[in-house]
Structure 1
């Protein structure tokens, strides 16, 4: 079976016209293995009443298990209140059916530690579950891990009903001066007003970090420089910030888990693979407040200095509901990302389906991404997006929110210039999106060699391509409500569109604009459904478009 799967992938790679030659095959992810010895946390004094703090009992069970050569630490059914715990090598933390590991709201139980947040080394509160340098570790079972995130997070007023907002404000905390943001404490509000307040710099002392401690929210699970990891069966929910954050780790298997956060949860990502290698994520469900399945590799100069791309990743059979993006690369991708294979995933209600985001200053190369068999429904934003002007905003503006278009200017290319290239997307079926395809590169660094084929999009707006080169749409159907035009191309070149289908009674099929637009070809397409085939504007030459 494995050999057949490898052959299938190689055929996909071989069909990617214009792609760089690659001999990449599906990675082999080393599996965990544990001794058949059990250590129940009840034998270490843990009590499942939701009141007694069990941190010491649970940690003692983990430590004892690891020291004696490993095995399984059992969490029986019950409500187990605890502070932060640390996984150790050769330990499988197993949660029985009916078991909830509930992390305390008492922030004094979470010491400040050196950590990593959004690609930078920063001070943070210790994560509820963490490990560093551990080998052969797992969290398995049918129970729940709850981070009690509502005690940590800020909330935007626009994301709640009026009654929910009034109830939240009445509970305490601090409301921002503009009345649009609720924060859990004065310390949080102080940190919110600073730029990178948790960043570790010589001019900041311990007193500084203590004064904004509440702002330095932890991720629910952080596994740093670990090898051979298994997450299986468990529900991870209600995280203070990101849910699952493997960092500079390898041989990771994530299978049959659920990850849940309220849709309004700020920075409530599902899983963020950062500078990781040899990963399998399969048959899992994400319903979160930010990006669902996310690929990262560090931020700006820090990420480039680390120089550890996230690579050799398989994602298959996953479902993403509420999120800012179903499958996402970036925006912290300064170490690069490559050799990633995504298949048979469903996105329902994700703001954006396939989301590639970056900005000037990041640097990094994202390449050799293979995506197929993606099913989408009710996407408020773009079904497929490549954007090199990421602004750090929610992808779908709130009602009344005003945003300005970025200033377009040509800058020199250097190590801070990001790149998206050599990406193949096929068999995407989208029933409902604001825009079908949006590709926006930089004038000095186009999005390059993107192939989308055998796909059907039903959307309000069709295809928008700006500052891109080597884009292929083959056997793509876009049934958009806006037909003025269906395809809009600005300052792009070598655009090949073959066997394109669109809605009947279309006003304009394709518009080209900008004096740098050239070599646009549209062929083997039925033109009887459009009033005008092509139009050239804003400096574009009519000869830049060939209709065959």
Structure 2
């Protein structure tokens, strides 16, 4: 499909995504001995049906209405796995059914348990229909005590498993706990033996669906839920359509991402709902040196008409974006109850360039943290601190620019309405590599705090209403240059409209804004002077 869209006054040509096509031949898994009794392990029956369908030139493998227990399934070219209404494809909680295989986790080659559904190098594949695919994730995931009620925690502990030494985290087994104590236990390296991986096998949770180096993919209509780790993980694949799916996880599901597009090209995600335990719709491209070596950006992506509920972020890029991300359009999406709305995250060591991102028509409600966030100090923590958790601010120092230095640039956000957030906008770049060339316009954001900007260059806020409850100041700008604040609206009676700090702050323009609504318009600190700003 090829579409046109106008973003920030310019018309951009959207990418073309090739569609799948299948023969009409349909084969039911019942023909291969599958039984919907919830007791029979149907792994062989379903895989046999897929294999026969593939060898005959493709078609539809039918999962009829019923409850089907199974182990790992492998999709093959030209096969559409179709679930009838009220069909439940339940993946077994017997870890012995999932062999260790070479895979990829958070952008690094790793040993993992085989994914419940996977395909490698397949062309023209689909999962469609109206049923539910359940990954049995509760058998795999660790759970933090702080994220459950007291009664739910007691029930979980009584079910079995083991506790961490501080009794604050539940693990399903000793193997899972042992893996949690090691640094990158699944990372593939020559000195690690088969016995080593087996000892920590339970910790190496699989993603529910992994499609690696595949071409022409359709996921449509199905509910994907309860994943051991990430839900949907297209990896180094292209021509992907994800349409009308529901992706669900408990809100506390650690690493329970909705969809992670990693080093993928030509993608459409539309009319889908995500209600998960980690990032909702996430763009990735490999981690650190491995991602730069792969050198495959995620590019040419359209996300439209999607809703994200509980999630760390509604639409997210990073943090593993070392191969880059570019040419991405997000339109007409709603985020309700997410920790962050639009979330861009990275850190030193990643490298990679995120650029040419076009976002418009976003509605947000009850955002726990920032409505819009650009952060180059990501520290692999939940975006919202737990009660009593103390976090130190990052150490600020200027380092040389190398291939490990990440970049955020050329990002356009137009048309955001947010009702309720802790902070409206947060921008934090590196001293040696600022967040650059961001335009945010036509926005109404109701939040406790307004704008907080550090180490940024070429940022424009135009026709933005920052309706804050904590209004002292409405905006903070630190060590940033060439900032345009045009037609900023805020609640009258603010003690201070704008605080400018830092010796590097300069070229700040405050235009078309009624500064008299605040008791004081501008204040300077930490080396900033009135030469940093012009007011019109």
**TM-score, normalised relative to structure 2:** 0.99
Aligned to 1:398: 386
What is the SS of the residue equivalent to 1:371? strand
Q: Is the 8 A contact 2:344 2:374 kept in 1?
A: yes
Task: Kindly indicate whether residue 8 of structure 2 is the aligned counterpart of residue 12 of structure 1.
Answer: yes
Aligned to 2:212: 224
Aligned to 2:296: 308
| Separation of aligned partners in 1, 2:535 and 2:389 | 40
Aligned to 1:260: 248
Q: Is the 8 A contact 2:306 2:334 kept in 1?
A: yes
Among candidates 25, 33, 46, match of residue 21 of structure 2: 33
What is the SS of the residue equivalent to 2:470? coil
| Separation of aligned partners in 1, 2:478 and 2:36 | 62
Among candidates 340, 352, 355, match of residue 343 of structure 2: 355
Aligned to 2:330: 342
| Separation of aligned partners in 1, 2:109 and 2:246 | 28
Task: Kindly indicate whether residue 501 of structure 2 is the aligned counterpart of residue 505 of structure 1.
Answer: no
Q: Aligned-pair RMSD on alpha carbons?
A: 0.9
* 1:298 positional shift: 0.1
Task: Kindly indicate whether residue 491 of structure 2 is the aligned counterpart of residue 495 of structure 1.
Answer: no
| Separation of aligned partners in 2, 1:504 and 1:286 | 38
Task: Kindly indicate whether residue 465 of structure 2 is the aligned counterpart of residue 469 of structure 1.
Answer: no
Among candidates 160, 179, 183, match of residue 195 of structure 1: 183
Among candidates 113, 124, 142, match of residue 136 of structure 1: 124
* 1:14 positional shift: 3.0
The CA deviation string for residues 383-412 of structure 1, in whole angstroms up to 9 with x for no partner, is: 000000000000000000000000000000
Among candidates 459, 475, 481, match of residue 469 of structure 2: 481
Residues 321-336 of structure 1: pairs in structure 2 closer than 5 A = 321-336=309-324
| Separation of aligned partners in 1, 2:16 and 2:431 | 39
What is the SS of the residue equivalent to 1:497? strand
| Separation of aligned partners in 1, 2:37 and 2:517 | 68
Aligned to 1:19: none
Q: Is the 8 A contact 2:8 2:414 kept in 1?
A: no
What is the SS of the residue equivalent to 1:433? coil
Task: Kindly indicate whether residue 516 of structure 2 is the aligned counterpart of residue 528 of structure 1.
Answer: yes
The CA deviation string for residues 451-506 of structure 1, in whole angstroms up to 9 with x for no partner, is: 00000000001000000000000000000011110000000000001011001111
Aligned to 2:222: 234
Q: Is the 8 A contact 2:503 2:528 kept in 1?
A: yes
The CA deviation string for residues 103-136 of structure 1, in whole angstroms up to 9 with x for no partner, is: 0000000000000000000000000000000000
Residues 59-458 of structure 1: pairs in structure 2 closer than 5 A = 59-458=47-446
| Separation of aligned partners in 1, 2:439 and 2:388 | 35
* 1:12 positional shift: 3.5
| Separation of aligned partners in 2, 1:504 and 1:61 | 68
* 1:546 positional shift: 1.3
Name stretches of at least 5 consecutive residues in structure 1 with no aligned partner. 16-23
Name stretches of at least 5 consecutive residues in structure 2 with no aligned partner. none
The CA deviation string for residues 302-348 of structure 1, in whole angstroms up to 9 with x for no partner, is: 00000000000000000000000000000000000000000000000
Single out whichever of 72-81 and 534-543 deviates more from structure 2: 534-543
Single out whichever of 141-150 and 519-528 deviates more from structure 2: 519-528
| Separation of aligned partners in 1, 2:468 and 2:438 | 21
What is the SS of the residue equivalent to 2:521? strand
| Separation of aligned partners in 1, 2:481 and 2:167 | 46
The CA deviation string for residues 177-224 of structure 1, in whole angstroms up to 9 with x for no partner, is: 111110000000110000000000011010000000000000000000
What is the SS of the residue equivalent to 1:210? helix
* 1:13 positional shift: 6.2
* 1:300 positional shift: 0.1
Single out whichever of 423-432 and 523-532 deviates more from structure 2: 523-532
* 1:25 positional shift: 2.0
- Aligned residue pairs total 536
* 1:528 positional shift: 2.4
The CA deviation string for residues 411-457 of structure 1, in whole angstroms up to 9 with x for no partner, is: 00000000000000010000000000000000000000000000000
What is the SS of the residue equivalent to 1:301? helix
| Separation of aligned partners in 2, 1:495 and 1:205 | 54
| Separation of aligned partners in 2, 1:257 and 1:12 | 30
* 1:90 positional shift: 0.1
Q: CA separation of 1:128/1:416 partners in 2, compared to 1, >3 Å: closer, same or farther?
A: same
| Separation of aligned partners in 2, 1:484 and 1:250 | 48
What is the SS of the residue equivalent to 2:367? strand
Aligned to 2:448: 460
**TM-score, normalised relative to structure 1:** 0.97
